[in-house]
Amino acid sequence: MDLIYADRKLDKNETDQSNRLNKDISDSYAAGQISNEQYTHLKNEVSTAYQDIFKKRIGSVTEQDLETVDKIRHDIIDAYNNGKLSNEHYTNLKNEISNAYQKIFKNGIESLTDPDTEAISTIKNDIRDAYADGKITEMHYKLLNEKSDRLDKK
């Protein structure tokens, strides 16, 4: 774990090191070299490292970069499905991703200086689709709907 955080930066190298460490832990457990308690503790530490890596990636997203947020979301789901993230860390990251989407949609709503019916409809559809795809939480969905509904009343 110290090697992963040695330079206090989280990048591709740290992801590769975390992947190797995660595999080594699983292999050691399967070979009976570590106890269940040690395995659980080590897996949680690796999950924490992955969470930190993903949080840094989410934090580096620019204002309107939905493509990057989609990629990070996909990587988080993949990491969870491959046992690299605990349920708790996965839930935390889903909330972080929802925040990132919410900020992007909010900026999109606020950037509509002279909103027409088609522009409002498009952004509402994008928000609804994001919610249906599990990209944003119900709370963010409601907040974004309230904000976009105010455009209709202008």
Q: Give the pLDDT score at 15.
A: 67
Print pLDDT tens along the chain (154 aa). 444 444 444 455 566 777 787 788 888 888 989 898 988 888 888 888 889 888 988 988 877 788 999 999 999 999 999 888 999 999 999 999 999 999 999 988 888 877 677 888 888 999 999 999 999 999 999 999 998 888 766 5
Q: Give the pLDDT score at 154.
A: 57
Q: State pTM to two decimals.
A: 0.80
Contacts of 43 (CB under 8 A, 6+ apart): 22, 25, 83, 86
Structure tokens at 82: 């491959």
Residue appearing with tokens 């709370």: 139
Q: Are 58 and 97 in contact (CB under 8 A)?
A: yes
Q: Are 100 and 61 in contact (CB under 8 A)?
A: yes
C-alpha distances in Å from residue 112, one per residue of 108, 116, 121, 151, 152:
7, 9, 12, 9, 12
Q: Are 112 and 120 in contact (CB under 8 A)?
A: yes
How far apart (Å, rounded) are the C-alpha atoms in residues 73 and 1? 24
